[in-house]
Structure 1
Amino acid sequence: MSSFLFQATIYLGAAVIAVPVAMRLGLGSVLGYLFAGIVIGPLLGLVGSETQSLQHFAEFGVVMMLFLIGLELEPRKLWEMRHRLIGLGGLQITLTAAAVTGATYALGFDWPIALAVGLTMSLSSTAIVLQTLNEKKLMSSSGGRSSFSVLLTQDIAVIPILAFLPLLALSGIHNETAGGHGAEAQDAGPFAQILNWFQALPPLATTSLTILAVVLIILGGIYLTRPLFRYIHGSHLPEMYTALSLLIVIAIACIMLVVGLSPALGAFLAGVVLANSEFRHQLESDIEPFKGLLLGLFFITVGAGINFGVLFGAPLQILSFTLAIILIKGSILFVIGYIFRLRGRDLWLFTLGLAQAGEFGFVIASFAIQRNVLPTDLTEQLLLVIALSMLATPLLFLLYEAISKRHKDSPAAQQEADEIDEQHPIIIAGIGRFGQVVTRLVQSAGYKTTVLDHNLSTVEVMRKFGFKGFFGDPTRPEILHAAGLDTARVLVVALDDRDAALQLVKFARKQRPDLHIIARAYDRGEVYRLYAAGANDIVREVFDSSLRAGRYVLENIGFTEYEAAEAEQAFYKYDRTSIRELAALFDPDIPSSENKPYIERSKELAKDFEAELLASREKGGS
């Protein structure tokens, strides 16, 4: 117990120190975890042989991560991704495996060994890439979605790769680890006995039970989760929800391991099945903390497991192999991404994000040793290359960010805007929360609108709810004219970017002096700027909702509904009048709190309004 507590203190302490430092330096949490592992392992020697066994436990974080990803994907969405899964993912695995196999064969290795190395290196790191994409909020980009499609295909491909590897076994290789593994399995308990029983079945029975296991997971997700959660709800113990959530993921992982499939794939499949469940959010909130801790532990064990002895024994060879893997995979990814119409920043994200080897490479390499496919000394070097390439991944993302800045203003880097094939008298620029309400109200009244937004994911979400919109930057003149600026009657400017909104109002007013422009403003200062730019009606974000709240206050302290409504309307008229008058005194170069003429006139207008309101109430009371 004392040894366990000591080791836990070391791992947690290293993470608590290294990760915040890495985040502040902009390196990302993954690099922080990896460096923490290197420090407590190879450098200081605070952890030792337990790292490898701990890594198998920590790999469960990858399983949990894929379960959570599955919860975010409905089966319909997965079907829509089929072209990317087969096209992008299938091409990447095939071409990378072929290229690495050819390079390894050229170095003098037998073709079965070369093919095993190629298959091992064809996979990328699901854990590191998805964690980094989520941290940097890149998952919704085209490059992020394409990367996810490839990673998902790779996770699925682990199954046939593991099934194919025993066919490559060489009679001249006899690794001691293979025999030892079998001995351990016999003494490992009931689970190992079940595993051995399943492996001894005839091929037809094995295939049938595998299909049955997958069907049971699907049916269980559809029909068993609801009664299980209702049963747990009756206990009124929050920790039971957590226990059930963990039980679902762990049980699925065990079933998949018994039938020889990837636990991560099984968890992902279960997540997809439960994506439409009303308990999805409960599962997410229960699993998320465990996923984060286990993934962090996994990254620490990767860093701690780097064998610097092997590295220092042949540094040029191993570093050259690591660099070659990154270059080979990166070149293939770049070509495939370009074929699939990724451009600019998305293409570089796709290329650099997936250029490393992955954690499933550890699984495949270890399995290859057990089946006498790879010799032990070569496998140790492969494991080191995999770890080093994973260690380089956060640096590749930093390189992506540097390249991304150069592409920021490049037209080639921008995703091609939609072709606008219709024009309507009302143009709505921006479809965030504000723009959505305006669009729904206007369309419910029977009028058609042309909706523009530069956020592709927002436009896609809107389309799913039956509202047509066009992806494109509304501040670009050619897009605005294509949307019908020359003939429109009303332009609604609902952009989040204040500078872009101001630029759009100025351009539209210059092009169409007769156009009625309605603009959203963040505060009074922006109201004055938009007014000066030519907007006709300006709506502050919280003004109307604040008026309604104020009216409710008055109603609950003695005003009648009529009196409260009258007070609300009077304040509304006062505010509109005062804003127009104060706009002439507003100076954008001087803070309002230091603009004396503005302050004095504001006080005068407020006193006049209070006096007018008091007189009105006294007149009504008499």
Structure 2
Amino acid sequence: MEGMLFHAFVYLAAAVLAVPVAHRLGLGSVLGYLIAGILIGPVLGLVGAETKDIQQVAEFGVVLMLFLVGLELEPKLLWQMRGRLLGLGGLQVGLTALAIAALAFSLGLYWGLGLAVGLVFAMSSTAIVIQTLSEKGLTKTEGGRASFAVLLFQDISVIAVLALIPFLAQPEPLALAAWLSAAAGDNSAAQGAAGLVAGLPNWGYALVVLGAVATVVLGGHYLSRPLFRYIAESRLREVFTASALLLVVGTALLMTLVGLSPALGTFLAGVILATSEFRHELRSDIEPFKGILMGIFFITVGAGIDLPLLFGDFATLLGLTLGVMGLKALVLLALARLFRLRAGDRWLFALSLAQAGEFGFVLLGFCVQNGVVPTGLARTLSLVVALSMLLTPALFILYDRLIAPRLRNGKGPAPDTIEEEGTVVIAGIGRFGQIVNRLLVAAGIETVVLDHRADQIDLLRKLGIKSYYGDASRPDLLHAAGLARARLFIVAIDDRDRAVEMVDYCRRTYPQVRILARAYDVGHLYLLKQAGADLAVREVFDTSLGLGAAALRELGMHPYKVERMTRAFRRHEAAGLAGMYDLWDQDPDIARNLALQARIREHVGTLQDALNSDRMQLHDRTERGWTPPSRGFSREPD
């Protein structure tokens, strides 16, 4: 069966079936898409020659992705990362290309061919890396930021690489004069299909490029906002969505016509609109298109793998792939050390960018067109690119399960020398622990604060908040902090498993110390209680209850009545949690614990009765500061 509908059904069905399974197994969505492509392509043969055509359309997902990334970066933030953008990115591309070129030259290959192959493999997969970093919540880490800076430079450098490739072909004797003429300044070959700039001299090409960039910057700043404001007034959601897509497609088309990377152009447009009041609306409208196109792109990569060629000489291809990834990882590790990234960020940076990228397919095709790389070698190298992309999710799994835990539990930087003891020891000084510490210090309580993030400790010291660097899960550090003589130990770290381990250790080693702990949810609260915490507090319970109370007051309910209802809710919740603990302890898996499910339904069903009965009770001494609502009370307008 053929046809557009059939192929659409096959691709979407593969994604729907394979990706949830891969995500449930902890493999990530990218690897799920790649596996789905392998199944419907080389294995089952449901798709074939149309894969390349679909891939050209799906690559627009990369364009949309970089537009959304640009929306998150204000121009001042981009200026702040200029050092890493130019230094880290430029050194990565240059050193990787030169290292591979030198290796190829030592094997007897023509230097131009070696340099072309080096430039192909120097590129990494923007699609896979940013998608995976975003899924795992690593985009805000130093390693994630450094990876993004390198990826952005790679996208920019593609322009220069496309211009350089025609000069790398080995010149024939009769064509030497033409080759020298091209090297002297004729850029028509390098610009290929860029219709608006074909045949222009270099200075003319530069003017056109600058004009295109200026159009994107000025248009995005001065024209897009009035246009979106006008369209928003129509209150037609589909027209706003069409306008957002028009902006991205138009920018990509303009960049393509002048020989620039469409991804680079849309990224620039996103940066310009990062301060716009329509930023969130643009993101919500474009995100679904980006997601599905990126998924189809990864499926086409898997479907395009040539299994006969792969298994015909699997050992050689796997060796080439691992060799390229290993060499890139060594270069990246060296640069990470040079730019003083921490150990965890260093390994994240190296492993995330060790693969070749989707631009490798484009560059290899351009190399074949210009006679730089033979067709047979290009097929092999394309397979190496695809195989490295296929192995990338496995590298992230390696980082998550082997490297990150070892770095966390390893020596790391030496902890600070703790010079004093306090009544309270606090583990974790994030957004939760800071509030607790500020309240205690303001009340005159001596505290000792520990946190394993050195950058957070440095920032707090600049703000005048006393704290110490160190892993609070280490027994020697807790002893040095004076936990044996403290009255309270407050566990306020983000890591749920480590929090339970710390509570368990403290309860066994320092039974006289009372333990207060931050819980993520009810299940975590029960685990902390089981480990020995005297009190565990859900991190969002009070703020959620406070917001609910504010909503009742906004709806006109008297503050006295709201206060009584929130107190009754709190009592009902505490009684319910205590009553459900025994059932949870029998089987923590709520999905299989039928008795606990029944108790939860009963608890939810009795809430309204509990609030109504409490409202009918008389005042108690804790409510003397409240007066009953006046007769005919109504909320005064602001």
TM-score range, shorter chain: 0.7 to 0.9
Q: Structure 1 residues 443 and 305 mapped into 2: Cα distance closer, same or farther (>3 Å)?
A: same
Provide the C-alpha distance between the structure 1 equivalents of 2:350 and 2:144, rounded to a whole number of angstroms.
Answer: 11
- Give the deviation of 1:381 after TM superposition: 2.1
Q: Structure 1 residues 427 and 326 mapped into 2: Cα distance closer, same or farther (>3 Å)?
A: same
Provide the C-alpha distance between the structure 2 equivalents of 1:18 and 1:354, rounded to a whole number of angstroms.
Answer: 25
- Deviations 1:218-246 (CA, angstroms, capped at 9, x unpaired): 22222223212111112211112211111
- Give the deviation of 1:87 after TM superposition: 3.3
| Matching residue of 2:319 | 320
TM-score after normalising by structure 1: 0.75
- Give the deviation of 1:157 after TM superposition: 1.6
Q: Structure 1 residues 467 and 206 mapped into 2: Cα distance closer, same or farther (>3 Å)?
A: farther
Question: Is contact 1:505-1:534 (8 Å) kept?
Answer: no
- Give the deviation of 1:518 after TM superposition: 7.1
2:170 maps to amino acid: L
Query: What secondary structure does 2:292 align onto?
Result: helix
Q: Structure 1 residues 173 and 130 mapped into 2: Cα distance closer, same or farther (>3 Å)?
A: farther
1:396 maps to amino acid: L
Provide the C-alpha distance between the structure 2 equivalents of 1:324 and 1:225, rounded to a whole number of angstroms.
Answer: 47
Give runs of aligned pairs for residues 28-43 of structure 1, distance below 5 A: 28-43=28-43
| Matching residue of 2:228 | 229
2:160 maps to amino acid: P
Give runs of aligned pairs for residues 385-404 of structure 1, distance below 5 A: 385-404=384-403
| Matching residue of 1:602 | none
Question: Is contact 1:120-1:365 (8 Å) kept?
Answer: yes
- Deviations 1:329-368 (CA, angstroms, capped at 9, x unpaired): 2222233333434455433333322221110111111122
> Does 2:54 correspond to 1:54?
yes
Give runs of aligned pairs for residues 259-274 of structure 1, distance below 5 A: 259-274=258-273
Question: Is contact 2:129-2:353 (8 Å) kept?
Answer: yes
> Does 2:120 correspond to 1:120?
yes
Query: What secondary structure does 2:96 align onto?
Result: helix
Question: Is contact 1:67-1:269 (8 Å) kept?
Answer: yes
Q: Structure 1 residues 241 and 114 mapped into 2: Cα distance closer, same or farther (>3 Å)?
A: same
| Matching residue of 2:210 | 211
Provide the C-alpha distance between the structure 2 equivalents of 1:50 and 1:554, rounded to a whole number of angstroms.
Answer: 58
- Give the deviation of 1:531 after TM superposition: 13
- Deviations 1:361-405 (CA, angstroms, capped at 9, x unpaired): 111111222233223222222222211221222233333344326
Q: Structure 1 residues 549 and 407 mapped into 2: Cα distance closer, same or farther (>3 Å)?
A: closer
2:326 maps to amino acid: L
Question: Is contact 2:500-2:531 (8 Å) kept?
Answer: no
- Deviations 1:389-437 (CA, angstroms, capped at 9, x unpaired): 212222333333443266155324x577689999999976544554455
| Matching residue of 1:22 | 22
- Give the deviation of 1:548 after TM superposition: 6.6
Query: What secondary structure does 2:3 align onto?
Result: helix
- Give the deviation of 1:290 after TM superposition: 0.9
- Deviations 1:119-158 (CA, angstroms, capped at 9, x unpaired): 1111111111222222233333333333222222222221
Give runs of aligned pairs for residues 581-620 of structure 1, distance below 5 A: 614=618
Give runs of aligned pairs for residues 140-179 of structure 1, distance below 5 A: 140-172=140-172
Give runs of aligned pairs for residues 428-447 of structure 1, distance below 5 A: 429-432=427-430, 434-435=432-433, 437-438=435-436
| Matching residue of 1:186 | none
Which is further off, 351-360 or 399-408? Answer: 399-408
| Matching residue of 1:499 | 500
Question: Is contact 2:503-2:533 (8 Å) kept?
Answer: no
Q: What's the Cα RMSD here?
A: 5.1
Query: What secondary structure does 1:407 align onto?
Result: helix
- Deviations 1:170-227 (CA, angstroms, capped at 9, x unpaired): 34499xxxxxxxxxxxxxxxxx999424222232121012112112212222222321
Provide the C-alpha distance between the structure 2 equivalents of 1:567 and 1:466, rounded to a whole number of angstroms.
Answer: 40
Gapped runs of 5+ residues in structure 2? Answer: 175-190, 588-594, 597-609, 629-638
- Deviations 1:40-85 (CA, angstroms, capped at 9, x unpaired): 2223332222211221111111111111112222223223323332
Q: Structure 1 residues 449 and 166 mapped into 2: Cα distance closer, same or farther (>3 Å)?
A: farther
Taking only the aligned residue pairs, the percentage that are identical comes to 50
- Give the deviation of 1:567 after TM superposition: 9.4
Query: What secondary structure does 1:199 align onto?
Result: coil
Question: Is contact 2:503-2:515 (8 Å) kept?
Answer: no
Gapped runs of 5+ residues in structure 1? Answer: 175-191, 595-605
| Matching residue of 2:356 | 357
Which is further off, 53-62 or 542-551? Answer: 542-551
Question: Is contact 1:475-1:503 (8 Å) kept?
Answer: no
1:226 maps to amino acid: R
Provide the C-alpha distance between the structure 1 equivalents of 2:287 and 2:317, rounded to a whole number of angstroms.
Answer: 36
> Does 2:306 correspond to 1:307?
yes
Question: Is contact 1:125-1:356 (8 Å) kept?
Answer: yes
Provide the C-alpha distance between the structure 1 equivalents of 2:399 and 2:511, rounded to a whole number of angstroms.
Answer: 39
Question: Is contact 2:503-2:531 (8 Å) kept?
Answer: no
1:270 maps to amino acid: A
| Matching residue of 2:636 | none
Q: Structure 1 residues 137 and 53 mapped into 2: Cα distance closer, same or farther (>3 Å)?
A: same
Q: Structure 1 residues 279 and 464 mapped into 2: Cα distance closer, same or farther (>3 Å)?
A: farther
* Count of equivalent residues: 579
Query: What secondary structure does 1:79 align onto?
Result: helix
Question: Is contact 1:123-1:357 (8 Å) kept?
Answer: yes
Question: Is contact 2:21-2:32 (8 Å) kept?
Answer: yes
Provide the C-alpha distance between the structure 1 equivalents of 2:256 and 2:463, rounded to a whole number of angstroms.
Answer: 40
Which is further off, 419-428 or 286-295? Answer: 419-428
| Matching residue of 2:334 | 335
| Matching residue of 1:256 | 255
| Matching residue of 2:10 | 10
2:295 maps to amino acid: G
Question: Is contact 2:525-2:536 (8 Å) kept?
Answer: no
Provide the C-alpha distance between the structure 1 equivalents of 2:81 and 2:274, rounded to a whole number of angstroms.
Answer: 16
Provide the C-alpha distance between the structure 1 equivalents of 2:71 and 2:476, rounded to a whole number of angstroms.
Answer: 40
Question: Is contact 1:22-1:29 (8 Å) kept?
Answer: yes
- Deviations 1:501-557 (CA, angstroms, capped at 9, x unpaired): 74697699889x8xx99765677996998899897x986757766887998999999
